[in-house]
Amino acid sequence: MPIIKWTEELSVGVNAFDNDHKKLIELFNKLYDALSQGEANNLIPSVLKELSDYTKSHFKKEENVLVTNNYPGYLDHKKLHDEFVANLQDLQEKFQSGNMTLGVSMFNLLTTWIKNHIKQIDKKYTEYLNLKGIR
């Protein structure tokens, strides 16, 4: 059963980005499933990698649209993306080197970050992009 769900409340008014966010949420649920299983440690590195790769590709896509459209909040937005990617990378490295285990509390931190980012930061571009015909 999915632990987090995409709802209209998370819509940023741009179809391509809503679809990316749905996929990201699907990957978070996959990570949660891996955590919940007995053999979680075997699955976590590959799921973390998939999540990290998809997150990077989504951020890049979003950043390209923002910069191409001269979005005024671009630099601040990109800084938040960069910080999250660095945190994810740090987490992957620590996990791979055996310096940490990925628990539910870490999972909750990641999901809270992504949900808050979509709701509070991504949604700021909705009106701006919609006015430029991007939906």
State which amino acid sits at residue 4.
Answer: I
Least distance from C-beta 55 to ligand FEO, angstroms? 8
Segments in the chain forming alpha helices (H): 15-36, 40-68, 74-96, 104-116, 126-131
Closest among 129, 114, 116 to 71, alpha carbons compared: 129
Q: Which stretch binds ligand FEO (CB under 6 A): 37-45, 46-54, 56-64, 92-100?
A: 56-64
**Residue 18 in contact with ligand FEO, rule: CB under 6 A:** no
With binding defined as CB under 6 A, does residue 62 bind ligand FEO?
yes
CB atoms within 10 A of CB 88: 19
Task: Give least dist CB 41 to ligand FEO, A.
Answer: 29
- Which residue in the set 30, 94, 115, 117 belongs to the binding site for ligand FEO (CB under 6 A)? 117
